[in-house]
Amino acid sequence: MYVAVKGGAAAIESSWRLLETQRRGDTTLAALSVAQIRAQLSLAVDRVMSEGSLYDPELAALAIKQASGDLVEAIFLLRAFRTTLPRLGYALPLDTGRIELLRRISATFKEVPGGQLLGPTYDYTQRLLDFALLAEDESAGASAVGASGESPSPSHVMPETAEAHANHLAAVPRINDLLAREGLLETPQPHDAEAPGDLTREPLMFPADRALRLQALARGDEGWLLAMGYSTQRGYANSHPFAGEIRRGFVSVELLPDELGFPIDIGDLEVTECQMINQFNGSREVPPQFTQGYGLAFGGAERKTMAMALVDRALRADELGEPRVAPAQDDEFVLSHADNVEASGFVQHLKLPHYVDFQAELELVRKLRASHAQAAAAVPELAATPERAGMPQTQKERDAA
């Protein structure tokens, strides 16, 4: 974020104190703890982690508290902290086929191998305010979060027997595999020998390959992606999507240390994954088939991953030989404006002092007006025409003309 300000140290320090007072709010009420934010505002925490590019629920909750609930500011705080951390290594690609499922649905097939699992979702609620929450005992459920601030483990989120737990961790067939067996779905291209680029270490350059585009989309602003994805559904791209599969759950993270030669499991991440299916008319070389858009984000981020998958598919226009006819198909336009930290900085820097710049603009406009007045005085016709001289005409004068 671009932030630069000089002078007024005492005033700035006073502003900090006022900000802390505003953040704390009514001191007669109990302070909101980081543990409470982490446990009860989990979807906000998940968004901050995704767009902040750091999976740490406790620090994301801390950022939300420090930012008074401003999620964009919290994302900035978390991403700034992330830049201070050492890089220990790269994890192996996540195997989302082996996932401890919290939710798994498909909008393309009713009966699917492994079954549909609705899980926690607002999809089937009536969107009516629950006034019972106003009278809810705030101490209820406090025992669910330990004194250390740890959130419930996956086993607490979804109690199950050891056998059921093992079944959830077993590979769950992908919906897209059903279409791929008939040759109706595009076959993924083999990965290049080179490792994908790292957007956190190298600036984004255009044209960007799909791996870099997905990195940028994964930490892009949810609202921006939602708008871009929505535009593709309203006719601003060649898109007719179906939600092939949406998964949410915990997946193992593995490292492959050079000194060991075999992968080790270092923990679990909660992720949401979305695979969109789109019709493709084919080309001279490729027969008609379905193509895919992909989205993946930390935590419960269903809306974002769906929008991400829509935009990912739109950005594949060149790859699939489709004409670029919509903003969502322009990778430079989409990706250059997707980062809310950068966008927020460039917008908010306008409220910082620009005294020198404005004085220069002011002098320029004064000189231009003086030159305009001299030119008008030198040509009587211009001077006599109120419209040309910058003077408003009356309705009677306009009618007479």
pLDDT of 382 reads 56
* Distance (Å, whole) CA 398 – CA 157: 74
Run of H or E residues at 293: strand 289-298
pLDDT tens across 62-83, in order? 999 999 999 999 999 999 999 9
Sheet holding 264-280, edge to edge: 100-105, 241-255, 264-280, 289-298
pLDDT band with cut points at 50, 70 and 90 for residue 228: very high
Write the pLDDT tens digit of every residue in 129-140: 888 888 876 545
pLDDT number for residue 400? 61
With 0-12 / 13-18 / 19 or more C-beta atoms within 10 angstroms meaning exposed / middle / buried, residue 355 is exposed
Strands annotated E in 132-288: 241-255, 264-280
Q: Which residues contact 114 (CB under 8 A, 6 or more apart)?
A: 104, 172, 173
* Sign of the four-CA dihedral 21, 22, 25, 31: negative
- Count Cα neighbours of 275 within 13 Å in the Cβ-side half-sphere: 20
For residue 380, whether the previous peptide bond is cis, meaning omega lies within 30 degrees of 0, is no
CA quadruple 47, 53, 58, 60: dihedral sign: negative
Q: Contact at 8 Å (CB) between 43 and 53?
A: no
Please report which confidence band the pLDDT of residue 110 belongs to, taking 50, 70 and 90 as the band edges.
confident
Answer yes or no: pTM beyond 0.75.
yes
Residue type, 116: Q
Maximum average pLDDT range among 11-15, 237-241, 376-380: 11-15
**Residue holding tokens 């498909």?**
106
- pLDDT bracket for residue 199 (50, 70, 90): confident
